[in-house]
Amino acid sequence: MDIDSYIRLVLSLVLVIGLILLLAVGLRRWGARLGVPAAAGGRARRLRVVEATVVDTRRRLVLVRRDETEHLLLVGGLNDVVVEQDIPVPPDTDPPAEPLAPGSFRSVLKRRGGTAKDGAAGDETRR
């Protein structure tokens, strides 16, 4: 092997290692959005932010769910405060939506007592 072959081998190795590192950084950064579990062994996540709203320029009110309990937190000021804890999770009031078959938009409108033209007219009057 001559020196050109060794240089090509080293550059290829550096390229492959760089691609692996780039993939690892991407999965770490955007993995949660793609549905990649962060916990080892594929365990389900126990903690998530249900809702957050801005109170003022420094503080936020955050609703956090842990297992089947929610906690209301005020964060961002000098001290973080637990506003309310052990809030039971409300049961789902809406049944799971059925997947719609192609062409069933009109049947949904008929069940609700409207037509496609009624919906379009309603949009025009709101503008």
Is residue 6, in this structure, part of any structural domain at all? yes
**DSSP 3-state assignment of 125?**
helix
Is residue 106, in this structure, part of any structural domain at all? no
- In the prediction, which pLDDT does 11 show? 96
Backbone angles phi, psi at 81, to 5 degrees: -125, 135
Tokens of 47: 């903690």
Regarding pTM above 0.75, the answer is no
Is residue 108, in this structure, part of any structural domain at all? no
Are residues 30 and 56 both part of a single domain?
A: no
Are residues 33 and 3 both part of a single domain?
A: yes
Is residue 82, in this structure, part of any structural domain at all? yes
Q: Report the run of H or E that residue 83 belongs to, with start and end.
A: strand 81-88
Contacts of residue 73, Cβ cutoff 8 Å, sequence gap at least 6: 61, 62, 63, 64, 80, 81, 82, 83
What's the rounded Cα separation, in Å, for the pair 78 and 76? 7
The total number of structural domains in the chain stands at 2
* Contact between residue 35 and residue 42 where contact means Cβ atoms under 8 Å apart: no
Is residue 22, in this structure, part of any structural domain at all? yes
Are residues 6 and 27 both part of a single domain?
A: yes
The string of pLDDT tens digits covering residues 12-69 is 999 999 999 999 888 877 776 666 555 555 567 788 888 899 988 899 999 998 888 8
The string of pLDDT tens digits covering residues 70-107 is 999 999 888 889 999 888 887 764 444 555 555 555 55
3-class SS letters over 104-122? CHHHHHHHHCCCHHHHHHH
Structural domain boundaries enclosing 69: 46-88
Are residues 22 and 51 both part of a single domain?
A: no
Tokens of 35: 């549905």
Is residue 79, in this structure, part of any structural domain at all? yes
